[in-house]
Amino acid sequence: MKDQLNVPLEDSELLAEVELTTNLIIAASEAEAPLPQAIIDDLLGLDLAAGSRSPEAITQLPAQKSRHHV
């Protein structure tokens, strides 16, 4: 019999949002001046042509960009 309480406790969307926020915090803390909007958009995985986040950024964790230098 399968245990109904044995379920994974991982929220992939929440993990992706935490990763995006972490990347922004790291980039901002390393920058000597306010981050340009283009860098912020890139860190957030925004699709500038469509004006919204790309499907890849929503469904997958972004590529590691924690050492983004300005």
Q: SS3 for the chain, per residue?
A: CCCCCCCCCCCHHHHHHHHHHHHHHHHHHHCCCCCCHHHHHHHHCEECCCCEECHHHHHCCCCCCCCCCC
Q: pLDDT digit string (tens) for 13-28?
A: 999 999 999 999 999 9
At how many degrees (to 10) do helices 12-30 and 37-44 cross? 150
Decide: pTM greater than 0.85.
Answer: no
Q: How would you class 27 by CB atoms within 10 Å of its CB: exposed for 0-12, middle for 13-18, buried for 19 or more?
A: buried
Q: Which of 28-32, 42-46, 58-62 has the highest mean pLDDT?
A: 28-32
All structural domains of the chain with their residue ranges: 36-64
